[in-house]
Amino acid sequence: MAARQRDGLRLFGLPPRAGERVAALWPGPLAGPDGRGTSGPCAAALVWQGDDAEVAAFLGAHPECRWLHTTAVGVPHAVLRHADATGLTVTNGAGTHGSAVAEHVLALLLAHFKGLPQTLAAQRERDWKVPVAAELRGRRTGVLGLGDIGRRTARLLDAFGARVRGCRRGAGGSPGSGFHVPGVSAVYGRERIDEFLTGLDVLVVAVPLTEETAGLVGDAELALLRPGAVLVNVGRGPVVDEAALVSALRTGRLAGAALDVFATEPLPASSPLWSEPGVLITPHSADATAETDQRCLELLLDNLARFGAGRPLRNVVDPARDY
């Protein structure tokens, strides 16, 4: 799979510093997403930020492309279908986002339990008002998805004294199966998701969006949580049924929600989530740190060097599993 001198490389949304590093490694011509820079074939594409439809259109127009790397963990369905049909190798950014996102989850949960939104509102009004606060310690907490983000989140929750259980895709992950995650007391396969959800005080959603996970958390699943529970979603928006979420908040089934991802992004101004009491919203920014960017760049450059030399790539995605 080694790159040849004449091979083109298509770039999507790379920041200038990353583009300069790529140019130093790549022997052939470079092109932006509009195609300017080369009119010939492209052997590979690097996606830092890019419109899904734009990337899919590029692949459709360039069947000769042999490798696509995205700094995201989730890969668009259209790209996966193309890879399955053509043999395109796809690699992703798994392992680069977990630290930042796990810290974000803890920040959101602590903000909720310590009443920080109310405290900040009181500060703006110069009102000396003591909030009603609670502790994370001892809370029955479930992490749905035990990839890099889920595992790192579980370790932080455990360090705060929460009682953590996890749920993963494979049926082998069940209590007593021997599948162990540090900080997690019990691991359930997704076929036992009802048992996993029952009685949780906190649910952290950290699964990628696939055909299996779309709408995974809806009315029935939210009804299994303990009354007054809190939901955090740092996976993908469509995993959680937003209408069901709003209903659970309004009926008191949920005391709050902290959301970094949404079914439609940017979140429309008309969404009731903006003004729903107890909801904390961040703009898909859980991993927006300089450290994440550096890890993404290091992985991208390492894979680019590997591709150029014909060596095995890191983080190869299985189109049949969607990640």
Q: DSSP readout, 96-140?
A: SSHHHHHHHHHHHHHHHHTTHHHHHHHHHTT---------STT-E
Q: Residue 11: what pLDDT?
A: 96
Q: Residue 227: what pLDDT?
A: 98
pLDDT in tens, 9-48: 999 999 999 999 999 999 889 987 654 544 579 999 999 9
Angle separating helix axes 290-309 and 98-113, nearest 10 degrees: 160
Strands 254-259 vs 163-168: parallel, antiparallel or unpaired: unpaired
pTM assigned to the model: 0.93
Asked if pLDDT for residue 176 goes beyond 70, the answer is: no
With a pLDDT cut of 90, the percent of the chain lying above it is 86
pLDDT category of residue 173 using cuts at 50, 70 and 90: very low
Long-range CB contact pairs, 60-67, < 8 A, 24+ = 62/10, 65/10, 66/1, 67/1, 67/43, 67/91, 67/307, 67/313
Q: Residue 183: what pLDDT?
A: 96
| Residue 302 neighbours by CB under 8 Å, 6+ apart | 314
- Residues annotated as catalytic are 236, 265, 284
pLDDT in tens, 197-253: 999 999 999 999 988 999 999 999 999 999 999 999 999 999 999 999 999 999 999
